[in-house]
Amino acid sequence: MDSKKRIVMGVDDDSRMREAIESLLEMAGYDARVFSRADELVRSRALATADCVITDVRMPGMDGIELQRRIKVDYPKLPVIFISAHFDDEIRRQALDGGAVDFMYKPFDGDALLRAIDRAVNNS
């Protein structure tokens, strides 16, 4: 196994959620990079270096489902994990049918998120 830190991108328009995700990832040894908007992540070109993306569903501008679609076009093997505060079975189905590794509801369990990331980065 290489010693390179895995890079995990987090996208959420809620600053407290971004801080929580960043802190959790860093404590677990990941290189965490967080963004407040999906279009900001896309424009940054950081996806080219990512090992996994965690995204909210509902955000201003580009939503998480559209972000997932764009990722699948340019980086088809890049795993995506969704987190959402809104219980919507149709959105959940779209995300999972689109290839999401997992779909969690807020507040999510940090250990469950870390297990999902571990599965994602080790199976990609």
Q: pLDDT tens digit string along 41-89?
A: 999 999 999 999 999 999 999 999 999 999 999 999 999 999 999 999 9
Q: How many domains does the chain divide into?
A: 1
In a domain, 124, yes or no: no
CA 26 – CA 7 distance, rounded (Å): 10
| Domain hosting residue 107, numbered range | 7-118
- In angstroms, the CA 87 to CA 48 distance is 31
What percent of the chain has a predicted confidence (pLDDT) above 70?
97
Round to whole Å and give the CA distance between 121 and 23.
18
pLDDT of residue 4: 79
Tell me, what's the pLDDT at 26? 97
Q: How remote is the C-alpha of 35 from its chain's centroid?
A: 10
Arithmetic mean of pLDDT, 25-43: 97
Q: What values do phi and psi take at 50, rounded to 5?
A: -75, 145
- Confirm whether 110 is domain-assigned: yes
2 has a pLDDT exceeding 70? no
Whole-structure pTM value: 0.94
Is there a domain that residue 56 lies in?
A: yes
